[in-house]
Structure 1
Amino acid sequence: MELHHALSGITCPVVTPFDDAGEIDDDAFVATLEHLLEHGIDGVFPCGTTGEFASLTREERRHVHELAVEHAGGEVPVLAGAAATSVAEAVAYTEDAADAGADAAVVTPPYFHTANDPAGNRQFLEQVADQSPLPVLLYNIPVCTGGRIEPETLTAVATHDDIIGLKDSSGDLEYFLSVLRQTPEEFLMLQGYDALLVPALRMGADGGLNALSNVVPEAYAELYDTFDAERGEELQDAIAPLFDACASYGFAPATKTALEYRGLLPTDSVRPPLVSVPADERAAIGSAVDDLLLPAN
């Protein structure tokens, strides 16, 4: 599978559904995948931030990746979350992902003991890529890792044979465009900050990797495919209230609440330290979902 072409569109960081006892709900996960495929999603990314990877054991991550490959692999690419704080652990996750049949692994810089020099992140990412049996997509999410992947670091690693691109969830469009300018055309650039998807696409992004595509994949597919500026802005504006809910309550909780509202999850349960969206805020999320599902004028 040629990943640059396959991932030039909308990839979904899939939620990990839990039942009321806090266990992974396989049936709900498979139903979510089917919903995404039916409505035009171009790739899936289990065990990302929205998939609550940090609350999953290694065995649970492996299980989720196996489910994703079984039910979506072959039809769309499967990107497997492999974030970790040590090179050895990240490589182990990439090996598990390869065994499951995933197409690529997604790796963040180390979190907690963040690099005090960009060279440290470069060494970390290159060493993981050197040892990974899968191509590696880098993931810039400074709010969770304590710092960004510097543009000069990305310029340096962009020619690595096994590093295919970047998901940027920084929310900094200037940063995104700087990296876009400084890296080769074949370096995949995916906008991970939903509120910046339209401007990023207009400026040359290859696609998006967006939490709320779980909820309204049809809207995101239309947003990517449309060349109508007015419709694109209309969709982006309609996404904004849901994105604000994600920013307030967390991407996994707000996305799961929206999925429950659509009848696509039986419950919006999350694992600690995350907490569910307060009951008095759920109606607003439902209203925002309804607005996104309205047909174009």
Structure 2
Amino acid sequence: MIDTYTDGAGRTASAEQRTERVATVTRRLRDGMSAAVLSFPLTPFDADGGLDPDGFRSHVREQIAAGPGALFPCCGTGEFFSLAEPEYETLVSIAVEESDGALPVVAATGYGWAQAARFAAIAERAGVDALLLMPPYLVEAPQAGLVEHVRRVAATTELPIIVYQRTQVKITASSVPALAAIPNVIGLKDGHCDLDRLQRLRLAAPPEWLFFNGAATAEMQARQYASIGVPAYSSAVHAFAPEISRAFFRAFQDDDHARVDELLSEFYVPLVELRDQGVGYAVSLVKAAARLRGAKVGPVRAPLADPAPEHLDVLDALLTKGLDLVGATR
């Protein structure tokens, strides 16, 4: 009997075709991660909190034009947690249209596994390449439960899945073989910055697995992650200043330590110090910086809140300084 699978778009594929699809997406993502940073676009809202699809299309076009390695719409920076399913469908469809196959599109899915399956089906119909599985809502769970959660989500979709560990989700090395046995699980995004633990996970994983640094301001830890064989990273700065993000990536890739130190000390460290002054600033400060550059991304949605006015003044000056460092203008 032939093993077949019908995906969220109603297409039927054999097991061999599914395996080849997973391998192809994994190769494309690996190539993208080695060539550039990963872009996590913002989700534009209007003054009343409604979705602004035209603003998103414009923002995504600018992100793609800056040359990232892959596009991750509707993730943490894109306020996935505040999106209704129809809004999510609109956004991921726009991201797929605008990328037009030029780079991989990886959309978030999450909450409980039943809800994650619904988002996964929407993403699959829209034509995304892979999924980033966000931590399950609220609950702390044992390793067996976390593995089963991933397994249940993966069973509902043909799409390759990258597991995101942060907050209450901490995968252990002993769980990696079980996750790796799930045919469409292809890697891990790390948000804990525990390099001892991550080293163990990487050594326990199959060689084809993808790993990348998903810290809130990942450039701060890029050297440390690279030292254990995880040089790829996502860049929140890319969402508002791709010029700075690209300049750092080039210096990092070229082992230009003086330039890396300059960008860290003059821009990234002050940015992190400002980010740490407000709850939720890992998203709202990024969105505010994009607005300062003229992007029509609007405010954040509740429960987040926009930065305090005095912090916006500091951000404005820091943005100017960072752009000056890389020879870019406002």
Q: Same fold (TM over 0.5)?
A: yes
Give the total of aligned pairs.
Answer: 291
Question: 1:207: which partner in 2?
Answer: 232
Question: 2:186: which partner in 1?
Answer: 164
**Cα gap change, 1:33/1:202 in structure 2, threshold over 3 Å: closer, same or farther?**
farther
Q: Secondary structure of the residue that 2:230 maps to in structure 1? A: coil
| 1:31 shift after superposition | 2.0
- Percent identical across equivalent pairs? 27
**Cα gap change, 1:132/1:266 in structure 2, threshold over 3 Å: closer, same or farther?**
closer
Q: Secondary structure of the residue that 2:233 maps to in structure 1? A: strand
In the superposition, the TM-score normalised over structure 2's length comes to 0.81
- Equivalent residue letter for 1:282: L
Query: Any residues of structure 2 matched to 1:35-74 within 5 Å, and which?
Result: 35-74=62-101
Which whole-Å CA distance do the structure 2 matches of 1:291 and 1:155 have between them? Answer: 46
- Equivalent residue letter for 2:155: D
| Runs of 4+ in structure 1 over 4 Å off | none
* 2:32 and 2:69 in contact (8 A); partners too: yes
Question: 1:258: which partner in 2?
Answer: 289
Question: 2:320: which partner in 1?
Answer: 290
* 1:11 and 1:42 in contact (8 A); partners too: yes
1:150 aligns with 2:172: yes
| 1:98 shift after superposition | 0.8
In the superposition, the TM-score normalised over structure 1's length comes to 0.90
Moved more, 57-66 or 215-224: 215-224
Deviations 1:83-128 (A, max 9, x none): 121x22212211110111101011123222331x211101111221
Unpaired stretches in structure 1, ≥5 consecutive residues: none
Question: 2:3: which partner in 1?
Answer: none
* 1:84 and 1:110 in contact (8 A); partners too: yes
Deviations 1:123-153 (A, max 9, x none): 11122123222000111121xxx34223332
Query: Any residues of structure 2 matched to 1:27-38 within 5 Å, and which?
Result: 27-38=54-65
Question: 1:140: which partner in 2?
Answer: 165
- The root-mean-square deviation of aligned C-alpha atoms, in Å, is 2.0
Question: 2:105: which partner in 1?
Answer: 78
Moved more, 182-191 or 250-259: 182-191
* 1:4 and 1:186 in contact (8 A); partners too: no
- Equivalent residue letter for 1:17: P
- Equivalent residue letter for 2:300: V
1:113 aligns with 2:139: yes
* 1:43 and 1:78 in contact (8 A); partners too: yes
Which whole-Å CA distance do the structure 1 matches of 2:149 and 2:201 have between them? Answer: 19
1:232 to 252, 255, 260: 260
Specify which structure has the bigger relative contact order, considering alpha-carbon pairs within 8 angstroms and separated by 6 or more residues: 1
Which whole-Å CA distance do the structure 1 matches of 2:294 and 2:204 have between them? Answer: 43
Q: Secondary structure of the residue that 2:324 maps to in structure 1? A: coil
Query: Any residues of structure 2 matched to 1:175-194 within 5 Å, and which?
Result: 175-193=197-215, 194=218
Question: 2:150: which partner in 1?
Answer: 125
- Equivalent residue letter for 1:69: V
Question: 2:47: which partner in 1?
Answer: 20
Unpaired stretches in structure 2, ≥5 consecutive residues: 1-24
Question: 2:125: which partner in 1?
Answer: 99
| 1:192 shift after superposition | 0.8
* 2:55 and 2:297 in contact (8 A); partners too: yes
Which whole-Å CA distance do the structure 1 matches of 2:273 and 2:100 have between them? Answer: 32
Deviations 1:259-287 (A, max 9, x none): 011112363x1111111001111011122
Which whole-Å CA distance do the structure 2 matches of 1:244 and 1:59 have between them? Answer: 36
